[in-house]
Amino acid sequence: MELIIFALITEDLKFTLHQTDSQSKARAGSMVTDHGTVQTPIFMPVGTVASVKGVHQRELKEEIDPDIILGNTYHLFLRPKTDILKKAGGLHKFMGWDRNILTDSGGYQVYSLSANRKIKEEGVKFKSHIDGSLHLFTPENVMEIQRVIGADIIMAFDECTPYPCEYNYAKRSMHMTHRWLERCITHLKKTPFEYDYEQTFFPIVQGSTYKDLRKQSAEYIAGVGAEGNAIGGLSVGEPAEEMYAMTDVVCEILPEDKPRYLMGVGTPINILENIALGVDMFDCVMPTRNARNGMLFTAHGTINIKNKKWEDDFSAIDDMGITFVDTEYSKAYLRHLFVAKEYLGKQIATIHNLGFYLWLVREARKHILAGDFTTWKNMMVKQMDKRL
């Protein structure tokens, strides 16, 4: 299949690579869009329905301070719907967020709706999880939807294959994802920007956990010449070792001078190991979802704050003295809030976990620039791989 010439993307996103670690492939860089600079490596808090769950935008800016957050095309399409977002002037204005936003294409949500969708060459027919209404996502209308949402970085429409996945299915799916990509690009050329700033488009590498398919897909995506590239289908239940192996294959092929985004990953350890393989961007619901269940990430391991052992522990949540909330709450107080079913407990835990993820990638960046990332990473992985 002949590659189409990739001529639709402007030079809006400017990526600068500042440093590569001498003992790994870890990179420190920066991306600049119309909504500001993103220092990489970066973790993007997930704001699925125009809200990072449980966190006020003021707290998000002042206490967690991310350069970029993520929105979800599938969910925003269903609610509040694109007509409302267009009347509001786009997602930034609708949710009061003046920094960068990335939207995924809805491919993962379509994957997760396996009982309520049908995948064909045209696109994907699915039932809304809200009211059961029928909808069709095609490469063309997903591009239109993301134009209206107005994120700074928008994603190609792809099929996310499950794990495990038969080789022939993974191969057919990968080629369909590539054909869908061509349709996305062709339609974007016809679809002007909706607002007074530009958008950058990322295609997505697929191929399940098959090295030859990942290599083929990465070569295809690299040949497209986009301003950034994503790696999909590697947070769907596969062992971490397979995730790392596939990421390594892909990062060897994707261009060094463009940002690399590993979609939906993952634990703090996953993030550090994939930074070491050359990934620049991450997102995952884990810090917020786990926080609402009382699971806290710290530099010395994971805490189940609901356990009785924390009942009279008046030390800070993270014993390294890292705090991400405006008051240094104790473990005992936070446990009390969870036991009493006070919403404040979930909010504090969410801010803590998101703060920790942002702290982790920023520390990684510091150590890449300082030249001792690998030593620091190995120490952190050992520390964090504990249940406290």
Which of 97, 210, 50, 77 minimizes the C-alpha distance to 146?
77
Q: Which two tokens stand for residue 118?
A: 């049908």
Burial-class residue 164 by CB neighbours within 10 Å (0-12, 13-18, 19+). Answer: exposed
What's the pLDDT at 6? 47
- Is residue 325 within 8 A of residue 355, CB to CB? The reply is yes
Please give the sequence-ordered ranges of beta strands (E in DSSP) within the chain, or none if there are none.
14-20, 27-33, 36-40, 42-44, 68-72, 100-104, 117-119, 124-127, 134-137, 153-155, 200-202, 204-205, 229-231, 260-262, 281-283, 295-298, 301-304
Cβ–Cβ under 8 Å, residues 33 and 102:
no
Omega of the bond prior to 162 within 30 degrees of 0, cis?
no
Tens digit of each residue's pLDDT, the chain (388 residues): 444 444 444 457 999 999 999 999 999 999 999 999 999 999 999 999 999 999 999 999 999 999 999 999 999 999 999 999 999 999 999 999 999 999 998 877 777 777 778 899 999 999 998 999 999 999 999 999 999 999 999 999 999 999 999 999 999 999 999 999 999 999 999 999 999 999 999 999 999 999 999 999 999 999 999 999 999 999 899 999 999 999 999 999 999 999 999 999 999 999 999 999 999 999 999 999 999 999 999 999 999 999 999 999 999 887 665 667 766 899 999 999 999 999 999 999 999 999 999 999 999 999 999 999 999 999 999 999 999 9
Dump the DSSP string for 56-94.
-HHHIIIII--SEEEEEHHHHHHTT-HHHHHHHTSHHHH
Peptide bond into 255 cis (omega under 30): no
pLDDT of 1 reads 40
Question: What's the CA gap between 323 and 69, in Å, rounded?
Answer: 21
What is the distance between the alpha carbons of residues 355 and 60, in angstroms, rounded to a whole number? 9
In 3D, which of 297, 250, 303 has the Cα closest to residue 270?
A: 297
User: Can you spell out the DSSP letters for 5-24?
Assistant: P-----S-SEEEEEEE-SSS
The per-residue pLDDT for 115 is: 73
pLDDT given at position 321: 55
3-state SS, 39-59, equals EECEEECECCCCCCCCCCHHH
Catalytic residues: 104, 283
